[in-house]
Amino acid sequence: MSDNQNSEVAWKYHNATKHSYASVRNNQHFLDFNNQPIPFKIYPTLQPLPLPAEVRQTGVAALSAIAEIIPPQTASRPDLEAIAQLLYLSAGITRHRKYPGGEIYFRAAACTGALYEVELYLVCGDLANLEAGVYHFAAAEFGLRRLRAGDYRSVLIDATANEPSVAHAPLTIVCTATYWRNAWKYQDRTYRHFGWDNGTLLANLLAVGTAVGLPAKVVCGFVDDSVNRLLDVDPQREVAFSLVPLGYASAPPEQPPANLDPLGLETVPLSRHEIDYPLMREVHAASSLVSSKEVARWRGGTPLTNFPPPTGRVVEFQPLSDEAMPRDPIEQVILRRGSSRRFARSPITLAQLSTMLDRATRGVPADFLDPAGSQLNHLYLIIHAVEGVEPGAYVFHRGRGVLECLKPGEFRDQAGYLGLQQALPADAAADVFFMADLRTILQRYGNRGYRAVQLEAGIIGGRLYLSAYAQRLGATGLTFFDDDVTAFFSPHAEGKSAIFLVALGHSAKP
């Protein structure tokens, strides 16, 4: 029996994991470096199949790739080179840095604490240079480990209640999230990070998919148990979080669902011991879908959330046109990206800000966003330094392309406080707060709406990163004091919950 409609569970999790000044101050948690989890999932008994090391250049402008989609029924199938591009530019190791205690392997997409709890698996039919199978992406070796041989796509088709994008996809990438890898630092709040960190990765994956000509969609509705069993993950530790079907073939796979015997494959332990945070497993279980019937009912039908037309003074957007925008290709921008560690307090232009917001919010192709272009998160901004715009608090009216001023003022100190008393949101040119009407969302989607709203925020946040770096600006994701954010933007944001935060501006040399 599914517990998804009992949204009390998501509320309980959300309220229990809010940050406040007092909760952060009183938290006794410390980082136990002697028990730090390793950053990769390793199957020691399986030899990885190397992926092509040469990444093809698409030349497609990042600002186009993040804003556009390939129409869903465009005949296309990825080859091994395209798969290598997709994996490298979404979850590959792009930089590494030595520090006294060890080494950090930075990956293509931003991730809380650089802990990289999201793993990628491939489920495919026969492709050019890749046999049908279920594979794990081994980021450390840049290779694929085959977990199952044969075409198992029908398992995903059943699990997603025949979601058309999955039914016709030559390849589906399954993203999982590993509790302990992130909870080592962030404890119970990690379940929110699953959505954020999976989301930034998906922003890259969707953009690269577009750049290589593959239709792609984010699928959040699936029978959890079937997908977890297909990958043979231990759901107490690691869970499937999202699916991304890629490409389109008119003939769906013929084979009936295959036997799903457990694989019993050894994996290297992450740490000497793991600490369990049951609240997260509770919200995961209560947001799990148990039958394809339930999945079919779950998807689509995005609720309209309360968003009154502007009554305050508005600032008209001035986004750069395709001709005028910087055309740095997506692969260059992804490799250039890295979270700003300090912002210069220098202004950005309104054209730059408008371009970032416009490009990042043109719609996420997802099974929970129907009609296309719907969005669950509303964006609120604190503007410190944007040429020609009075500093203050604003709300973004996406459909109208305007910012409505909620209150003018210099709010650098307040922004620094709201962003967990860090300098980054105080020094940025603008801070974008994602707020959502959780009541309506959970009513419509049940607890699983909580996964969806976090994931959408991560994707749009990831696109903001890319649209900043495409314009040679900087960005960073940030965490926040939940209720203080709502209070700051109220009365407009009354009743909404803080979901995510991205700071934008000129990076300063550290």
Ligand X SMILES: Cc1cc2nc3c(=O)[nH]c(=O)nc-3n(C[C@H](O)[C@H](O)[C@H](O)COP(=O)(O)O)c2cc1C
Across the strands, what pairs with 238? 178
Closer to ligand X by CB, 342 or 398: give it: 342
- Local structure of residue 127 (DSSP, 8 states): B
Residues that bind ligand X (CB under 6 A): 106, 110-114, 196-197, 200, 338-339, 420, 422, 424, 476-479
Closer to ligand X by CB, 338 or 391: give it: 338
Closer to ligand X by CB, 213 or 338: give it: 338
Which residue type sits at 331?
Answer: E
The secondary structure of 425-481 as a DSSP string is: HHHSSEEEEEEE-HHHHHHHHTTHHHHHHHHHHHHHHHHHHHHHHHTT-EEEEE---
CB of 506 to ligand X, least distance (A): 16
CB of 23 to ligand X, least distance (A): 15
Closer to ligand X by CB, 70 or 504: give it: 504
In the numeric block, the tokens 């699983």 are attached to 448
CB of 255 to ligand X, least distance (A): 39
Closer to ligand X by CB, 372 or 423: give it: 423
In the numeric block, the tokens 């999790």 are attached to 13
CA distance 393 to 488: 9
CB of 425 to ligand X, least distance (A): 9
Closer to ligand X by CB, 156 or 485: give it: 485
Q: Tell me if 121 sits within 8 A of 127, measured CB to CB.
A: no
Q: For the purposes of burial, counting CB atoms within 10 Å of the CB of 223, is it exposed (0-12), middle (13-18) or buried (19 or more)? A: buried
Peptide bond into 371 cis (omega under 30): yes
The secondary structure of 59-105 as a DSSP string is: --BHHHHTT----TT--B---HHHHHHHHHHHHSEEEEEEETTEEEE
Q: Tell me if 221 sits within 8 A of 77, measured CB to CB.
A: no
Position closest to ligand X via CB: 477
Closer to ligand X by CB, 230 or 455: give it: 455
